[in-house]
Structure 1
Amino acid sequence: MAVLHIVRNSAFNDNKLNLCLSLLSAKDTLFLMDDGVYNVAHPKLIRRLHEFKVFAVQDHLAARGVRSEEQAIVMAELKDLVEQSEKADKVITWQ
């Protein structure tokens, strides 16, 4: 079962990313949006980027002045979130 995990909070402020990472499998997708885009720089996520697909909303990164140098993080638009939602068997939002 493929699960889409949407993370909307920064792991620098709470533990939602840690909880999410504890459940992610290779079939799953992680989508970062809102303040969740700050997680592109979080060490726990960076160490696990090769394990699953990660998207970050480009406009949300730009609005917060955040850049990602990680090639494994796919820059996305909100339409990509809709596409990923349709592909997933289940969607979990962490906020």
Structure 2
Amino acid sequence: MTILHLQRTSAFDKNDFEQCVLSIKPNDALVLIDDGCYNASHTLFINFKKQNPTVLVFHIQEHAQARAIEINHDQSSPITMAKLVELTFQYNSTITWQ
């Protein structure tokens, strides 16, 4: 069973991001949306990507731009909201972390 994890909050403010990254399996994917885009520079995210280089990670480009966040495209691929909708159909289930 594959899961699309949607992270909406910043690990700088709340601790649910740690729970999120601990629950991600190799065939799951992570999408940083809303304030979750701030996590691209958090130590938890950096360590997660080092330990799980094959897990797909995306971020909503407009959400990162609205927060003046530059995300390394080697770490996370920019997507649109339309692409997010497509992704929800590619995974067995979706979990929103907020």
Same fold (TM over 0.5): yes
Q: Normalized against structure 1, the TM-score is what? A: 0.94
- Once the two structures are TM-superposed, the CA of residue 7 in structure 1 deviates from its matched residue by 0.4
Task: Let me know the Cα RMSD of the aligned residues.
Answer: 1.0
Q: Does 2:59 match 1:64?
A: no
Q: Give unmatched runs, 5+ long, in structure 2.
A: none
**Count of aligned pairs between the two proteins:** 95
Q: Give unmatched runs, 5+ long, in structure 1.
A: none
Q: Normalized against structure 2, the TM-score is what? A: 0.92
Assess, with a 3 A threshold, how the Cα gap between structure 1 residues 51 and 45 changes in structure 2: closer, same or farther.
farther
Amino acid at match of 2:85: V
- Percent of residue pairs bearing the same amino acid type: 34
**Match for residue 52 of structure 1?**
55
- Once the two structures are TM-superposed, the CA of residue 51 in structure 1 deviates from its matched residue by 4.1
**Match for residue 89 of structure 2?**
86
Describe the superposition over 1:36-75 as per-residue Cα deviations: whole angstroms up to 9, x where unpaired: 0001111111122214110000000000010012513101
Alignment of 1:1-95 (within 5 A): 1-49=1-49, 50-95=53-98
CA contact (8 A) 1:25 1:51 kept: no
- Once the two structures are TM-superposed, the CA of residue 26 in structure 1 deviates from its matched residue by 0.6
